[in-house]
């Protein structure tokens, strides 16, 4: 027989309640760190919208500070069985936003080199709001005659939306040399266009000039001249091209026809 003490010791060990284990804390989880958000790329506006001048019409927005542009223009006019060709090259830069400095050199129908310098100063609005107003100023080496000079000042107002482009200029010019003293005129330049697909607009442009004072008359012994016609522009990346054509009395004695081309590029 087993000793009684051994049996009791076995029984006591078998029926002893189990000691509850202390609760274990869950393993430490690494802290959640928000992944850095990618920075939004700042997209440049369409190159065609920052050009201060495309063809004869000014725009009020202008490029942002540090950006520059170059533009080559050419036109052909036919009137009274005669043809006239003109063209030139323009460079411009914006040292700061709101200010664009520009210089042009080229030949007009008079076959004389016609340099000019100017500035466009945006005083209100921007592309984000879709509207802008700018002050224009320029000096042209040819004024109302084939020689002499003319100073011009005016306003440019522009509107941009996803489907509409509008530009309007009002410019007043006056002779600055002695032979042109008292000569003055006013010009109105307009553009209205609709974006067809992205990267192309189709519209019309027009400009008219009326003499305000002075003894000299325009070709054809007129006190006014004008041109108007359809315009097509296309752009991709930094490049812009436009073609326009229509009826004109500018620089000719009788009403004629014109075709004009412009090619431009804007730096990033």
Q: Going residue by residue through the chain (268 aa), what tens digit of pLDDT does each one get?
A: 445 454 444 445 554 555 555 556 555 555 655 555 544 444 678 889 999 999 899 999 999 988 999 999 999 999 887 888 889 999 999 999 999 999 998 877 656 777 889 999 999 999 999 999 999 999 988 644 455 678 999 999 999 998 999 999 999 998 877 666 678 999 999 999 999 887 999 999 999 999 998 887 788 888 899 999 999 999 999 999 999 999 999 888 889 999 999 999 999 8
The pLDDT of residue 263 is: 96
The pLDDT of residue 176 is: 79
The answer to whether 93 and 105 are in contact (CB under 8 A) is: no
CA angle 45-134-249, nearest 5°? Answer: 100
As beta bridge partners, residue 219 has none
Nearest to 243 by CA among 205, 187, 196: 205
Q: Residue 31 falls within a domain, yes or no?
A: no
Q: Would you give the DSSP letter of residue 222?
A: B
The H-or-E segment that residue 244 falls in is strand 239-248
**Phi-psi category of 246—alpha, beta or left, where left has phi over 0 and alpha has psi -120 to 50?**
left
Q: Residue 245 falls within a domain, yes or no?
A: yes
Q: Residue 24 falls within a domain, yes or no?
A: no
The H-or-E segment that residue 192 falls in is strand 184-195
Domain count across the chain: 1
The pLDDT of residue 13 is: 53
The pLDDT of residue 90 is: 95
pTM: predicted TM-score of the whole model, two decimal places? 0.79
Q: Residue 92 falls within a domain, yes or no?
A: yes
The pLDDT of residue 7 is: 46
Give residues with Cβ within 8 angstroms of 32, minimum separation 6: none
Q: Residue 62 falls within a domain, yes or no?
A: yes
Q: Which domain holds residue 80?
A: 47-266
């Amino acid at each position: 027989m087993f000793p009684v003490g051994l049996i009791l010791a076995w029984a006591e060990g078998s029926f002893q309640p189990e000691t509850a284990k202390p609760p274990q804390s869950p393993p430490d989880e690494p802290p959640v760190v928000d992944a850095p958000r990618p920075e939004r790329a700042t997209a440049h506006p369409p190159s065609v919208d920052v050009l201060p001048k495309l063809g004869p019409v000014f725009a009020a927005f202008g490029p942002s500070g540090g950006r520059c542009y170059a533009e080559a223009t050419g036109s052909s006019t036919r009137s009274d069985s005669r043809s006239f060709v003109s063209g030139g090259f323009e460079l411009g830069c914006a040292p700061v936003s709101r200010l664009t400095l520009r210089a042009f050199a080229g030949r007009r129908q008079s076959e004389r080199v016609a340099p000019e310098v100017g500035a466009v100063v945006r005083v209100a609005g921007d592309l984000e709001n879709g509207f802008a107003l700018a002050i224009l100023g320029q000096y042209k080496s040819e004024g109302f005659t084939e020689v002499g000079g003319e100073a011009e000042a005016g306003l440019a107002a522009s509107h941009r939306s996803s489907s509409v482009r509008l530009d309007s200029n009002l410019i007043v010019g006056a002779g600055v040399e002695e032979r042109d003293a008292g000569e003055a005129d006013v010009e109105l330049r307009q553009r209205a266009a609709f974006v067809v697909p992205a990267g192309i607009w189709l519209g019309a442009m027009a400009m008219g000039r009326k003499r305000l004072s002075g003894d000299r008359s325009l070709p054809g012994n007129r006190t006014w001249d004008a041109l108007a016609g359809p315009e097509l522009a296309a752009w991709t990346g930094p490049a812009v091209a436009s073609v326009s054509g229509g009826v004109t009395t500018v620089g000719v004695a009788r009403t004629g026809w014109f075709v004009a081309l412009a090619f431009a590029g804007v730096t990033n």
